[in-house]
Amino acid sequence: MTNKMHRGGCLCGAVTFTVDGPLRPVVACHCEQCRRLSGNYVAATSAPVDHVAIDGPVTWYRSSETARRGFCGVCGSNMFWDGPGSALSIMAGVLDQPTGLALAGHIYCEGRGDWYDLPAQERQEPGADASLTTQVIA
């Protein structure tokens, strides 16, 4: 497996980060929290938390008893989801391109907004699905 350095940052550049190593394929989450946070659904990848180096003023919001969400306190960019386990979810849109990633599927589809349809050819799960959220690629 080839290690690749991934980089990213918020809209204003106050928060930047690097990921030293592989990222999970992108998973789209349609749960109510993600919809309310982003105004739509969230598309995120993840990496082991000890492989992510964050530089800048991340503001953390405790969104549940088991998770928190990180965003830029300057421009408000939604950047991270930190929950149980050793991986940190990273919003795919804050990664520098090209990412080399692909969408693996959709989770919490029962909570999707009523203003859009999901592509029939893409994997759709009604709730959480560990087989989607724990994959890793180079």
Contacts of 13 (CB under 8 A, 6+ apart): none
pLDDT at 70 over 50: yes
CA 8-9-11 angle, 5° bins? 135
**Mean pLDDT in residue range 13-35:** 96
pLDDT at 133 over 90: no
- pLDDT bin (cut points 50, 70, 90) of residue 137 is low
Q: Pick the residue with more confidence: 84 or 74?
A: 74
The type of residue at 60 is W
Domain 5-132 has CATH 1.10.390.10: no
**Mean pLDDT in residue range 131-135:** 81
pLDDT at 138 over 60: no
Which of 95, 122, 88, 83 lies closest to 106, judged by CA?
Answer: 122
pTM of the full predicted structure?
Answer: 0.92
pLDDT at 25 over 90: yes
b/e map of 7-16 (b: 16 or more CB within 10 Å)? ebbbeeebbe
User: For tokens 């989607």, what's the residue?
Assistant: 132
**Mean pLDDT in residue range 104-133:** 92
CB atoms within 10 A of CB 94: 21
- pLDDT bin (cut points 50, 70, 90) of residue 85 is confident
Give the Cα separation of 125 and 76 in Å (integer).
29
